[in-house]
């Protein structure tokens, strides 16, 4: 009799007795199989299952759909399909005698008094119950939420008990790892933070203990709108009273804070506003168009994120009211604690491709190969992708474990192209972040990578995605991706250049971007990227408060957004643009819906996440704004645009942390930035603290940049807040500072 292993934590998975992964089916087929696997042996009436999964259809139609899904499930399971049995009463069940599940083992081991059993149970909890399964029906989703909540509560209790048991057994490093996973599962679990703080103190890691206290404070404020309790504050007092020195041998576990600022050369100042910037240098060799062709998939899947680059990098946020003595000189910076990364998901640090070649064509091929891998892998919804440091950055010299720790990565993905006698050897590998050991590698030789660059990069990206899926995520999860037609290479070049100009956030660059998009549309009127980019060029002056902005530009931006969305409904930047336009119209509910759709389509897209933080900062959900703005910074630690910092500062202020907003904005060069928005945010934060007198330099800057034409009423109402009282308070604060 064939046996079947079902996994339901994280993503649904099925494996035969020999552990061979079995392919999964469509959404409703997977939902049916998951529902049966959650309680093997329990009979379910066919009519009830049909109504559960297809409540919107008539009885005959729903039963027909059910029969089709059941047939697909049996084919999908192969020999194990016979385990889907009909009872004598005509019900359907999954044979409990031949089926095992991770949640069944998890619940059994949770009840064990033995520490080793509890460790195994912790390893089984790889994410929320069926985390990757989208909405099915109202009743099914209710069952899903109830089951997920029950199992998550068990997991929180399990991890807390296990961490304390490991501490009692003097297994401090294991206890720290368990407690870290606990606060990833439930960031607002205060006792979990306290366990970690005590463990760091036990190992003499006072600064790590303090940073954990800060992570606790931020999480409690963000998720529960509360402050740490008395017991946690007592631990803070202990941290501050500890001696300055700590045992050197105790520093073996990674601290929970974000990476420190990496040293890098200061970026060149951009050209003055009345000087036309030089166009990007283009290759005039055989590889030029072939390399650009390979980037097409990036335009559709990754959108703005992978096309806009800036050289600065934020550190972890330091928004605390007081610091231990050994941290008093630490700079106040704009960033996000790594403990706030999404719970239950592995984090892959994707290093830019190292070409080991002086050939400019090959170097460009390597750059676009990274983007292709990033785009293809972003469809793995149970994985977080983080862009790593570029070749030549000091962090590339770090050991894999140190680089992973610095970026809170569970794994590192690396691609190299090395010239050899018979061509180029292309090597991809995945390294475990904790041990530094290689866990996967794919190597092959290509005589001339530029001969058919598009086909080769697609093959590389596919190999990478399958390797990542097999080694890091739930292996059996089906990989869904879309293929984009190459179209005109010249069109794509104009679109790419246009998005690059948009990222400069200055009026002159915005004008150049608009020209690039218009040129692209003259060549191809059905290019969704060009329409979306043109729409952004119309709305950018209104968002960043340039004098070139005009209310009529909203109608032009809307026209382009609608065209882009109609041409490609799955293009995330089009959804983001529509969300911004709805925000300007005051339709906050639909704007949230659009931005949520953009987030869903973009996978781990940092730009969509940052747009989400901006949109939500105008609604009645400031916690969501801070969550998204924080996550955007985490997703782009090595290339954070100024508008990310501004959006993060806004989210801090509207969620009740004006000092944190000020600390963040102190990292902005107000003289060089192409927008007055950060200065306005600084004024609003100072007003919230009652120190509006400190706003005068920013008032002067705004009046100078706007030519005296600034309007507080216009700024606070376009876009407007969902709460009219907030709009009114915004205007009053700016007027108190001296703005007209």
DSSP 186-218: -TT-HHHHHHHHHHHHHTT-HHHHHHHHHHHHH
- Architecture of domain 1-168 in this structure: Orthogonal Bundle (1.10)
Count of beta carbons in the 10 Å neighbourhood of residue 71: 13
Q: According to the model, what pLDDT value does residue 345 have?
A: 67
Q: Hey, what are 706's tokens?
A: 């706007």
Q: Domain residue spans in the chain?
A: 1-168, 187-243, 288-320+333-471, 489-736
Go through the chain and tell me how many residues it has: 740
Q: Measure CA of the first residue to CA of the last residue in the chain; give whole Å.
A: 80
Measured between alpha carbons, how far is 591 from 632 in angstroms, rounded to an integer?
19
CB distance 196 to 183 below 8 Å: yes
Measured between alpha carbons, how far is 437 from 389 in angstroms, rounded to an integer?
20
Q: What is the 3 state secondary structure string of 401-449? A: HHHHHHCCCCEEEEEEEEEECCEEEEEEEEEECCCCCEEEEEEEEECCC
Q: Is 456 helix (H, G, I), strand (E, B) or coil?
A: helix
Q: Hey, what are 3's tokens?
A: 């046996």
288-320+333-471 folds as Rossmann fold (3.40.50)
Beta strands in 332-388 (DSSP E): 347-350, 384-387
Measured between alpha carbons, how far is 574 from 561 in angstroms, rounded to an integer?
5
- The long-range contacts involving 698-705, CB below 8 angstroms and separated by at least 24 positions, are 698/670, 698/737, 699/737, 699/738, 699/739, 701/670, 701/671, 701/676, 702/676, 702/739, 703/739, 705/676
CB distance 390 to 422 below 8 Å: no
pLDDT, mean of each 10-residue run, the chain (740 residues) = 82 84 84 92 91 84 87 86 84 90 94 93 92 85 91 94 93 92 91 93 84 85 86 89 41 32 31 35 31 34 29 26 28 42 67 89 85 70 78 87 89 91 87 86 84 78 76 44 41 70 82 90 86 92 79 89 86 88 92 86 74 90 89 68 84 90 84 83 90 85 84 89 91 91
Q: What is the DSSP letter of 45?
A: E
- Closest Cα to residue 326, out of 245, 426, 438? 245
| Tens-place pLDDT, residues 269-305 | 333 333 333 333 332 233 333 333 333 333 333 332 3
Q: Is 319 helix (H, G, I), strand (E, B) or coil?
A: coil
Q: According to the model, what pLDDT value does residue 16 have?
A: 85
Measured between alpha carbons, how far is 393 from 380 in angstroms, rounded to an integer?
28
CB distance 334 to 649 below 8 Å: yes
State which CATH number among 1.25.40.10, 3.40.50.300, 1.10.760.10, 3.30.420.40 fits the domain covering 489-736: 1.25.40.10
Predicted structure pTM score: 0.47
């Amino acid at each position: 009799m064939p046996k079947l292993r079902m996994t339901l934590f994280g993503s649904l998975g099925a494996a035969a007795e020999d552990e061979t992964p079995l392919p999964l089916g469509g959404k409703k087929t997977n939902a049916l199989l998951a529902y049966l696997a959650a309680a093997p042996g329990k009979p379910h009436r066919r009519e009830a299952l049909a109504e559960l999964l297809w409540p919107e259809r008539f009885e005959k139609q729903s039963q027909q759909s059910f029969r089709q899904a059941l047939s697909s499930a049996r084919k999908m399971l192969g020999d194990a399909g016979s385990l889907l049995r009909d009872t004598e009463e005509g019900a359907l069940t999954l044979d409990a005698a031949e089926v095992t599940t991770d949640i069944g083992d998890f619940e059994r081991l949770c009840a064990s008094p033995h520490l080793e059993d509890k460790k195994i149970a912790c390893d089984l909890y790889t994410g929320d119950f069926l985390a990757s399964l989208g909405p099915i029906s109202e009743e099914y989703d209710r069952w899903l939420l109830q089951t997920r909540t029950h199992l998550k509560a068990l997991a929180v209790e399990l991890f807390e008990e296990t961490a304390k048991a490991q501490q009692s057994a003097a297994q401090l490093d294991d206890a720290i790892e368990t407690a870290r996973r606990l606060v990833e599962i439930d960031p607002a679990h205060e006792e979990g933070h306290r366990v970690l703080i005590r463990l760091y103190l036990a190992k003499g890691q006072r600064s790590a203990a303090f940073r954990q206290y800060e992570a606790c404070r931020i999480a409690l404020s963000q998720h529960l709108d509360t402050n740490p309790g008395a017991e946690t504050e007592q631990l803070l007092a202990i941290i501050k009273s500890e001696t300055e020195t700590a045992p050197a041998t105790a520093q073996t576990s990674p601290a929970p804070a974000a990476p420190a600022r990496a040293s890098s050369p200061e970026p060149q100042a951009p050209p003055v506003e009345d000087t036309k910037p030089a166009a990007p240098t283009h290759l005039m060799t055989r590889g030029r168009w072939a390399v650009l062709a390979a980037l097409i998939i990036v335009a559709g899947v990754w959108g703005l994120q992978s096309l806009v680059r800036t050289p600065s990098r934020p550190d972890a946020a330091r928004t605390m009211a007081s610091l231990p003595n050994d941290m008093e000189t630490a700079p106040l910076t704009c960033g996000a604690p790594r403990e706030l990364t999404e719970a239950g998901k592995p984090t892959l640090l994707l290093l830019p491709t190292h070409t080991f070649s002086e050939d400019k064509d090959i170097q460009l091929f390597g750059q676009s190969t990274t983007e292709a891998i990033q785009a293809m892998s972003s469809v793995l919804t149970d994985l977080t992708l983080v862009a790593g440091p570029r070749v030549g950055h000091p962090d590339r010299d770090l050991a894999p474990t140190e680089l992973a720790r610095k970026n809170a990565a569970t794994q590192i993905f690396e691609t190299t192209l090395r010239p050899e006698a018979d061509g180029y050897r292309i090597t991809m590998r995945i390294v475990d972040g904790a041990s530094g050991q290689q866990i996967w590698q794919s190597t092959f030789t290509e005589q001339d990578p530029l001969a058919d660059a598009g086909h080769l990069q697609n093959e590389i990206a596919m190999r990478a995605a399958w390797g990542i899926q097999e080694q890091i995520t739930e292996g059996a999860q089906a990989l869904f991706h879309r293929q984009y037609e190459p179209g005109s290479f010249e069109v794509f070049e104009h679109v790419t250049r246009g998005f690059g100009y948009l990222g400069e956030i200055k009026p002159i660059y915005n004008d150049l971007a608009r020209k690039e998009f218009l040129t692209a549309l003259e060549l191809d009127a059905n290019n969704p990227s060009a329409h979306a980019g043109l729409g952004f060029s119309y709305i950018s002056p209104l968002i960043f408060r340039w004098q070139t902005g005009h209310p009529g530009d909203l109608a032009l931006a809307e026209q382009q957004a609608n065209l882009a969305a109609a041409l490609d409904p799955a293009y995330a930047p089009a959804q983001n643009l529509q969300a911004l336009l709805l925000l300007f119209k005051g339709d906050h509910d639909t704007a949230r819906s659009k931005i949520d759709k953009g987030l869903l389509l973009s996978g781990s897209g940092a730009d969509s996440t940052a747009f989400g933080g901006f949109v939500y900062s105008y609604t009645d959900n400031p916690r969501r704004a801070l969550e998204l703005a924080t996550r955007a910074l985490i997703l782009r630690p090595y290339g954070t645009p100024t508008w990310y910092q501004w959006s993060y500062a806004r989210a801090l202020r509207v969620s009740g942390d004006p000092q944190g907003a000020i600390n963040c904005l102190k990292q902005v060069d107000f003289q060089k930035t192409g927008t007055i928005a950060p200065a306005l945010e600084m004024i609003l934060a100072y007003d919230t603290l009652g120190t509006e007198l400190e706003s005068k330099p920013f008032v002067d800057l705004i009046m100078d940049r706007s030519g005296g034409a600034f309007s507080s009423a216009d700024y606070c109402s376009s876009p407007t807040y969902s709460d009219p009282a907030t709009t009114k308070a915004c205007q009053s604060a700016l007027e108190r500072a001296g703005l007209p």
